[in-house]
Structure 1
Amino acid sequence: MSDWIGHECGIAAIRLLKPFEYYIEKYGSPYFAINRLYLLMEKQHNRGQDGCGAAVIKTDVEPGRPIIFRARSADKNPIQQVHQHMLGSLAEAFDENPDGINDPAWIKKHAKFAGELLLGHLRYGTRGQGGLNYCHPFLRQSNWLSRNLVLAGNFNLTNNDQLFETLVELGQHPRSEKDTVMVLEKIGHFLDEENDRLFRQFRKEGISRMEITQKIAENLDLLSILKRSVKNFDGGYTMAGMIGNGDMFVMRDACGIRPGFFYRDDEFVVVASERPAIQTAFNVPIDAVEEIKPGHALIIRKTGEVLHEQISEVKTVAPCSFERIYFSRGTDRDIYNERKQLGRQLTERVLKAVDYDLDHTVFSYIPNTADAAFYGLIEGTKTYVAERAQHHILAKRDLSPERIAELVNYQPRMEKIMTKDAKLRTFITADADRTELVSMVYDTTYGIVRPEDTLVALDDSIVRGTTLRESILRILDRLRPRKIVIVSSAPEIRYPDCYGIDMSKLKDFVAFQAAIALVKETGREALLTEIYEKCKASMELPREEVVNEVKVLFKLFKPREVEAKIAEILRPPDLNAEFEVIYQSIEGLHAACPNHKGDWYFTGNYPTPGGNRVANRSFINFMEDNDARAY
């Protein structure tokens, strides 16, 4: 994606199912679990570079010793910082007692991060806020083992105001309205209620207070706690938590918007946001990794019992398609194939755009993440070339061997035209006004493109188009092509996201800008006021009755009309080459990613009521020239 946007987060969790000393004896290192957690996080570093955190809980700890240990960093290379902090704590223990490294029981007792429950988190700040205090995991601590809660997640909720009111009605005094606080306190409330219920039950049975602690730990109904906690969550989430009694859980939203995978055997239960991270870190085949079902929770009891149970009603399953297009790493088998298919399905439109003149067409791609879709486009083009060769050979039976060889061996021209200088980009982002330097972020391969050529460059997605307009198109134009065709493997982004991607302002989207321009050009400005009034009125409706009023805007124009206007908007005034933009169709997206129908940013079809409310609020902000976020 040539336009950078904040998005998603990543989680990694490990539950050791055997005694701690087992892993030291089998794998020969007291650092084994910490290193595996690090690898899980490092293999998902694409999901969060604003900060990182990890927490560990020890089980069966004697009173007087802490059970929860946490390390967080918002500095440069946060994953490595957290890992080194955890390793350093073990090293400090061994410095005090060098012989302890050969004593698993001593390690478990004295080394801080030597525990059975491990939870890691990678953070992208979708609200633009950063710093150590925003890094997960978050703690809700207590002297009662089974009231301690550690929470981390990849989530964004649209109804923080409603959740805030719920907590107030429950008698709490929330310290803020941030969704992380809402979630932590909501789960914490029902965790407290469950502890109180069990305490009363066991007291009636005449059990002593000291014995009750153990009885509560053994009988905690975590499934019921989670069902009650998520009852009015509106948003996308995969959340992981650890309880002080040794229980662990991971839960996924009812629509399956945010991803979550797990692997289990007799030694571990492992959880991650992306499947390849588990495959790599634990060297397991793809079929051994399971997906957490939408609306379900994975619960690992202290006893080692593993449950995968439903916690919320599943109405609309809509996993985020942007995970497949861009956000998740392309090392997942299915994602890789889907991205190739996205590119392959654009073949016909691209061939038409270059007038089927492959002798004078150069194919390339812009960000490295677009490579799989690019391979798909090239495969589609090669199929066309092969069919063309077959047609010529069958139509002209007197072809010479040389001509047949020429037809059979013909290949489309593929070149690496642009590469990004990451160091320069980091340097420039410190000063947003240095527009001239931004154009130097990309290095260009000169001498490949000829004046008679069309240059086709594929991008994952075009969100704002700012980088294209201010940098990439001007750089490509220096190569002096006759025509430039920018191809997006994703459809036009027309609506805001509210489930974890930093796309909440309609005015930023070039597709929305194009629609507004078309409205004004066709003399329909009154429609904007009409939509605005309906959006304002919708703010007074119950959340469940709100519909997306903004969809009316895009129904006025065909996708090709919007596409053409986008090309006008993105075209720099000094561009010499002809210029065209091609977008993926919604039908093409669904055909390539049949199991991930979450397409609200393209279609406006939000899977939860809160999404419609966010879209309407974003339009209100646009009309009122308000730069605030829509949620």
Structure 2
Amino acid sequence: MSDEIKHECGLATIRLRKPLSYIKEKYGTVMFGLNKMYLLMEKQHNRGQDGAGLAVVKLDMAPGTPYMHRIRSNVQQPIADIFASIGNDVKELEKYQPDLLSHPGFAKGHIPYLGELMLGHLRYGTQGKNLVEFCHPFVQRDLTPSRNLALAGNFNLINVDELNQMVNAELTELEKNSDLKAMLNVIHHFLVIEDEKNPNTPDIAAVLKQSAIHFDGGYNIGGLVGNGYSFVMRDANGIRPSYYYIHEDYIVTASERAAIRTTFNVGENEVLELMPGCALIIDKDGHHTIEQILEPKERRACSFERIYFSRGNDEKIYRERIQLGLHLSKPVLEAIDYDLKNTIFAYIPNTAEVSFYGLCKGMEDYLNKRKVERIQSWNGSYSEEMLAEVVNRKIRQEKIAIKDVKMRTFITEDVSRQDMVQHVYDITYGTLRPNEDTLVVIDDSIVRGTTLRESIIRMLGRLKPKKIIVVSSAPQIRYPDCYGIDMSKMGEFIAFQAAIEILKERNERHVLTDLYKRCKELKRSNELHTENVVKGVYENISTQQLSSKIAKLITTEGVNIPIQVIYQTIEDLHECCPTNTGDWYFTGNYPTPGGNKVCNQAFMNYMEGKNVRGY
């Protein structure tokens, strides 16, 4: 994705079902669980690089002995930092007890993060600054073990204020906007009530049922309770992903199926999806149940997971991304007037590579069809040279764009900063014939268009192609997200900017003011969540009109080359990714009422000139 957006988060849990002595005997090391947690988190590092955290609960510790520990980091490589710290603790202890790891009980008592329950998290910050205090897991401590709670998740909640008010939470300034803190307060509130009914063995399913009914958002959350219980729960629409694997020695969960498969070397069908509204609950003895916490609603799993966020080494996601590219081949062929001889195909690194393969496959299918037609037209009368010329024709693919390491400007001056941004990408010179070849480049999606305009188009223009066609494997992003992706400022979307320009050119600015008035009316009556008013912005603008205007907006000043933008259609997206139908950022059809509220608020913020998030 050329436009960097903060998104998602990664979750991982491991519950060892056997004593550490058994684990050491069978797997050769008492550190088996921690080693696997490290791998689970590293295999999901794409999901969060602003910070990481780990919480551990030890079972059957002597009274007065610490049993819940947490470590967090927000340095440049937080996963490595956390596990290096744990490793250093072990090395320090081994100075005094060289055979420390040979004695599971002794090691467990002295190594803080060696325990049976582990909760790992990777953070992409969508709320607050990138302070270590915002890194998950959060912990609510209590003198009673069954009331100690560590919580982490991949989510955003829309109704944070309402949740905090419901439980009369006392918050610091730092905590007021934290959706994780709000969720922790609510779950802990009901955990305490349940523990009063059933001391030391609270019904976790009951706690989650009382809590989750109040959450407005998409989420995959994991929690550890001090008495040895643990849980992972998914929202009722299945917006955020959640997978698990049950083994006789351990139970594992993660945000991505492939992470579990790689870490534990298991088959695809052995890793199961946690269904919408369900929770995987594990008791203190290691027994698990799948509980239906919320009545499942229409499945609206986030389609961006398949387009971009999840790693593409999952075979289903890989095939779906191939299909996303393949479905774009027809409009691209039409755009180049079927002239493959004078067209070069490339992709914008790195994650658009798989959809690029699909696009090229579509081109190859067309070219092979033409080859057959050409040979058949000869009616058996052809020379070796004629046959060789046809058979050797190939799709022209080149490594055009190169993304350099993340560049950080050391100058705050706007002009200097803009000059630096232009060089985030570089090109391979001499890869096309100036003024003869059309250049087709595919990207995962076009969110803000900033990098295209300020860097990529300018860079590609140096090659002097006859025409540049930018292809997006995702549809037009028109609306904000509020379920885990940091896209909540209306004015930043290139599609919205294009719509505004079109309305201005038509002298229809009144459309915006009318919609703004409607939003204000709904807000006054506390009904901002009842409809998506912003759909009216696009009501009389066709997809093609919007694409044409976007092409003009991303055209860099001084680049006199025709630019065309081609987007995936909503229909083809759903055909390619049939299990992930969440498309609210494209269609405005939000799965929860809070989505409408955030979208309308984001529009009002734009109209009022407020550069703030929509929730």
- With the length of structure 2 as denominator, give the TM-score of the two structures: 0.97
Corresponding residue for residue 107 of structure 1 = 107
Deviations 1:341-393 (A, max 9, x none): 00000001111111111111000001210000000000000000011112222
Deviations 1:31-73 (A, max 9, x none): 2211110110011111111011111110000111100111111
Closer, same or farther in 2 for the Cα pair 1:387/1:291, shift >3 Å? same
Pairwise mapping of residues 230-241 of structure 1 onto structure 2 (< 5 A)? 230-241=212-223
Q: Is residue 468–residue 561 contact of structure 2 (8 Å, CA) maintained in 1?
A: yes
Deviations 1:500-544 (A, max 9, x none): 111001100010011111111112111111100111122234558
Within 2, Cα distance between the matches of 1:465 and 1:508? 9
Question: Are 2:12 and 1:12 aligned?
Answer: yes
What secondary structure does 2:402 align onto? strand
The residue type equivalent to 1:468 in the other structure is L
Note the C-alpha offset of 1:400: 2.9
What secondary structure does 2:305 align onto? helix
Within 1, Cα distance between the matches of 2:335 and 2:411? 35
Q: Is residue 15–residue 116 contact of structure 2 (8 Å, CA) maintained in 1?
A: yes
Note the C-alpha offset of 1:555: 1.5
Within 2, Cα distance between the matches of 1:375 and 1:428? 37
Question: Are 2:496 and 1:512 aligned?
Answer: yes
Give the alignment's Cα RMSD to 1 decimal: 1.5
Closer, same or farther in 2 for the Cα pair 1:497/1:431, shift >3 Å? farther
- Match for residue 397 of structure 2 among 408, 411, 414: 414
Question: Are 2:204 and 1:222 aligned?
Answer: yes
Note the C-alpha offset of 1:177: 4.2
Question: Are 2:335 and 1:361 aligned?
Answer: no
Closer, same or farther in 2 for the Cα pair 1:431/1:108, shift >3 Å? farther
Within 2, Cα distance between the matches of 1:544 and 1:364? 44
Corresponding residue for residue 402 of structure 1 = 385
What secondary structure does 1:375 align onto? helix
Corresponding residue for residue 530 of structure 1 = 514
Note the C-alpha offset of 1:573: 2.1
Note the C-alpha offset of 1:429: 9.4
Q: Is residue 528–residue 596 contact of structure 2 (8 Å, CA) maintained in 1?
A: no
Q: Is residue 90–residue 112 contact of structure 1 (8 Å, CA) maintained in 2?
A: no
Note the C-alpha offset of 1:488: 0.5
Closer, same or farther in 2 for the Cα pair 1:544/1:496, shift >3 Å? closer
Question: Are 2:531 and 1:547 aligned?
Answer: yes
Question: Are 2:376 and 1:379 aligned?
Answer: no
Identity level (%): 50
Within 2, Cα distance between the matches of 1:226 and 1:20? 30
Within 1, Cα distance between the matches of 2:388 and 2:412? 55
The residue type equivalent to 2:500 in the other structure is I
What secondary structure does 2:119 align onto? strand
Closer, same or farther in 2 for the Cα pair 1:128/1:178, shift >3 Å? closer
Within 2, Cα distance between the matches of 1:552 and 1:151? 40
Corresponding residue for residue 203 of structure 1 = none
Within 2, Cα distance between the matches of 1:285 and 1:52? 28
Corresponding residue for residue 457 of structure 1 = 441
- Match for residue 446 of structure 1 among 416, 429, 434: 429
Closer, same or farther in 2 for the Cα pair 1:411/1:430, shift >3 Å? farther
Closer, same or farther in 2 for the Cα pair 1:107/1:593, shift >3 Å? same
Deviations 1:535-572 (A, max 9, x none): 11222345586100010111211100000010111111
Corresponding residue for residue 60 of structure 2 = 60
Pairwise mapping of residues 181-196 of structure 1 onto structure 2 (< 5 A)? 181-196=181-196
Corresponding residue for residue 315 of structure 2 = 333
What secondary structure does 1:340 align onto? helix
Within 2, Cα distance between the matches of 1:256 and 1:542? 27
Please, which moves more after superposition, 484-493 or 98-107?
A: 98-107
The residue type equivalent to 1:319 in the other structure is A
What secondary structure does 1:572 align onto? coil
Within 2, Cα distance between the matches of 1:378 and 1:100? 56
What secondary structure does 1:392 align onto? helix
Question: Are 2:458 and 1:474 aligned?
Answer: yes
The residue type equivalent to 1:443 in the other structure is D
Q: Is residue 38–residue 79 contact of structure 1 (8 Å, CA) maintained in 2?
A: yes
Note the C-alpha offset of 1:407: 2.1
Question: Are 2:253 and 1:271 aligned?
Answer: yes
Corresponding residue for residue 568 of structure 1 = 552
Pairwise mapping of residues 259-298 of structure 1 onto structure 2 (< 5 A)? 259-298=241-280
Give unpaired runs (5+ residues) of structure 2.
none
Corresponding residue for residue 134 of structure 2 = 134
Within 2, Cα distance between the matches of 1:399 and 1:348? 31
The residue type equivalent to 2:491 in the other structure is K
Closer, same or farther in 2 for the Cα pair 1:395/1:428, shift >3 Å? farther
Note the C-alpha offset of 1:106: 1.1
Please, which moves more after superposition, 503-512 or 177-186?
A: 177-186
Deviations 1:288-318 (A, max 9, x none): 1001111110111111211111111222210
Corresponding residue for residue 252 of structure 1 = 234
Within 2, Cα distance between the matches of 1:235 and 1:562? 30
Within 2, Cα distance between the matches of 1:310 and 1:429? 54
Within 1, Cα distance between the matches of 2:584 and 2:410? 33
Note the C-alpha offset of 1:128: 5.2
Please, which moves more after superposition, 309-318 or 263-272?
A: 309-318
Please, which moves more after superposition, 541-550 or 78-87?
A: 541-550
The residue type equivalent to 1:25 in the other structure is E
Please, which moves more after superposition, 431-440 or 479-488?
A: 431-440
What secondary structure does 1:98 align onto? coil
Within 2, Cα distance between the matches of 1:453 and 1:82? 50
Q: Which has the higher helix share?
A: 1
Within 2, Cα distance between the matches of 1:428 and 1:461? 29
Q: Is residue 13–residue 252 contact of structure 2 (8 Å, CA) maintained in 1?
A: yes
Note the C-alpha offset of 1:606: 0.3
Deviations 1:258-289 (A, max 9, x none): 11111111011011111111111111111110
Within 1, Cα distance between the matches of 2:252 and 2:99? 31
Corresponding residue for residue 51 of structure 1 = 51
Q: Is residue 238–residue 253 contact of structure 1 (8 Å, CA) maintained in 2?
A: yes
The residue type equivalent to 1:53 in the other structure is G
- Match for residue 346 of structure 1 among 328, 344, 359: 328
What secondary structure does 1:539 align onto? helix
Within 1, Cα distance between the matches of 2:233 and 2:527? 24
Question: Are 2:377 and 1:388 aligned?
Answer: no
Within 2, Cα distance between the matches of 1:543 and 1:270? 42
Question: Are 2:133 and 1:149 aligned?
Answer: no
Within 2, Cα distance between the matches of 1:15 and 1:315? 29
Closer, same or farther in 2 for the Cα pair 1:262/1:544, shift >3 Å? farther
Please, which moves more after superposition, 544-553 or 50-59?
A: 544-553
Within 1, Cα distance between the matches of 2:439 and 2:567? 16
Q: Is residue 529–residue 594 contact of structure 2 (8 Å, CA) maintained in 1?
A: no
Please, which moves more after superposition, 85-94 or 459-468?
A: 85-94
Within 1, Cα distance between the matches of 2:392 and 2:132? 57
Give unpaired runs (5+ residues) of structure 1.
200-215
Q: Is residue 89–residue 113 contact of structure 1 (8 Å, CA) maintained in 2?
A: no
Closer, same or farther in 2 for the Cα pair 1:304/1:429, shift >3 Å? farther
Question: Are 2:70 and 1:70 aligned?
Answer: yes
